Amino acid sequence: MRTRMSKYGTVLWLFSLFPASLASAQEVVKVGGTGASLGAMKVMAASFEKRHPEIRIQVFPSLGSSGALSALSQGALDIALAARPPSPEERQGGIVAQEYARTPFAFIAHRGVSRDGITAAELEDIYLGKQERWPDGKPIRLVLRPETDIVSRQIASLSPALERALRSARLNRAPVIAVTDQDSADAVATIPGALGTATLTQVLTEKQPVKLLKFAGSSPTLDSLSAGRYPLFTALYLATPPTPRASVRLFQEFIFSAAGRRILSGNGNLLPRAPHDK
Mean pLDDT, range 239-262, rounded to an integer: 96
pLDDT in tens, 142-154: 999 999 999 999 9
Indicate if 19 and 125 belong to the same structural domain. no
82 and 111 share one domain: no
Tell whether 198 is covered by a domain: yes
Whether residue 250 is found in the same domain as residue 153: no
| Mean per-residue pLDDT of the chain | 90
- pLDDT at residue 14, as a whole number: 53
Within this chain, do residues 170 and 258 fall inside the same structural domain, yes or no?
Answer: no
Same domain, 82 and 166: no
In a domain, 1, yes or no: no
Contact 71, 77 (CB under 8 A): yes
- Do 121 and 221 share a domain, yes or no? yes
For 185, residues 6+ apart whose C-beta sits below 8 A from its C-beta are 108, 196, 198, 202, 203, 206, 208, 210
DSSP state of 78: S
Q: Are residues 119 and 90 both part of a single domain?
A: no
Residue 276 lies inside a defined structural domain of this protein: no
Asked if residue 271 is part of any domain, the answer here is: no
Q: 220 or 173: whose pLDDT is higher?
A: 220
17 and 66 co-located in one domain:
yes
- As a whole number of angstroms, the distance between CA 34 and CA 236 comes to 9
pTM of the model: 0.88
The pLDDT assigned to 272 comes to 80
Terminal Cα distance for the chain, rounded: 35
Based on the fold, state whether residues 113 and 213 are members of the same structural domain. Answer: yes
Q: Quick check: 124 pLDDT over 70?
A: yes
Range(s) of the domain holding residue 244: 7-102+234-265
Distance CA(29)–CA(120), nearest Å, equals 42
Give the domain CATH number at 98. 3.40.190.10
Please give the helix or strand (H or E) that residue 116 lies within, else none: none
pLDDT at 93: 80
Residue 238, phi then psi, degrees to nearest 5: -115, 125
| Whole-angstrom distance, CA of residue 156 vs CA of residue 162 | 6
pLDDT of residue 3: 39
Let me know whether 125 and 201 are in one domain.
yes
pLDDT band at residue 108, thresholds of 50, 70 and 90? very high
Q: What is the mean pLDDT of residues 92-113?
A: 95
Identify the helix (H) or strand (E) that includes residue 222. helix 222-227
- pLDDT tens digits for range 166-214: 999 999 999 999 999 999 999 999 999 999 999 999 999 999 999 999 9
Among the residue ranges 226-235, 237-246, 266-275, the one predicted with the least confidence is: 266-275
Q: Domain total for the chain?
A: 2
